[in-house]
Structure 1
């Protein structure tokens, strides 16, 4: 399980639920999903260390994992359409992921500016 695996899972869930997801939105859903995993002890510490294999950078519109951003930047502000599949390893995050996908992405940006751990 890696950040890339988490990103693909989130896109897969969005596609299964017919919810559009942009690169900006993907970044915020990844961030808040990991925060939820940490706060609610959804994974062991060693599993979290494996997942969080690349750090989030602080950008103007909130946290960004650069490699994932670069992978999907071709879509700009349009929804990501390349097929991805959900991953059962991340099933414990599905409820949180779906709720985040249903939020306004710019509200998530604002919330990411205010977040503390």
Structure 2
């Protein structure tokens, strides 16, 4: 358990410092499922089991850190405040068939976007920093998304989390300027 918490803390700290590694002005907004498919593909390639719950938190954290470090969103779909943390519903629906089991393939719905993502080397460098989160317990990731005063915490249950709240929270906590 301590190792899971350490992995999450290291990734979060590293992402705070990522700006020093390059210029990521090329980031555009993608569907949550396309970012999830990128993570699933990488996890499968690296033999890292990843669950739906973990993928949902990984895309949420990547989206939040995109605001903090690049001052722009990564994902164009809204996140909802569900009981286990922020959820991008279409991504959830695509992978819910796996329940708590590891996801074994990408959705197959985002092939064109996935190609664009993979061609954007700076975006891939950014996204690859989140792959180790798949090694953490999904419940640790859920806890990290439930922090007091955070976007999930201040949003009524099952409602859409306001993008401005995500932007302000991540920028204030992890921003570099």
Contact persistence 2:33–2:91 (CA under 8 A): yes
Query: Which residue is 1:54 aligned to?
Result: 77
Any runs of at least 4 consecutive aligned residues in structure 1 with deviations exceeding 6 A, and if so which?
none
CA distance, structure 2, for counterparts of residue 92 and residue 83 of structure 1: 20
Q: Which runs of 5 or more residues in structure 1 are unaligned? A: none
Displacement after TM superposition at 1:83 (Å)? 4.3
Q: Deviations over 1:67-91 (max 9, x none)?
A: 1101111111111102478642330
Residues 53 and 95 of structure 1, relative CA distance in 2, 3 Å threshold = closer
For residues 69 and 58 of structure 2, the distance between their equivalents in structure 1, rounded to whole angstroms, comes to 16
Gaps of 5+ in 2: 1-29, 152-168, 170-177
TM-score, structure 1 as length reference? 0.82
Higher relative contact order (CA 8 A, sep 6+): 1
TM-score, normalised by the number of residues in structure 2 = 0.56
Alignment size in residue pairs: 111
Q: CA deviation at 1:103?
A: 1.7
Equivalent residue in structure 2 for 1:65, among 78, 81, 88: 88
Structure 1 residue aligned with 2:134: 101
1:18 matched to 2:51: no
Match of 1:112 in 2: 145
CA distance in 1, matches of 2:103, 2:124: 21
RMSD (Å) for aligned C-alpha atoms: 2.0
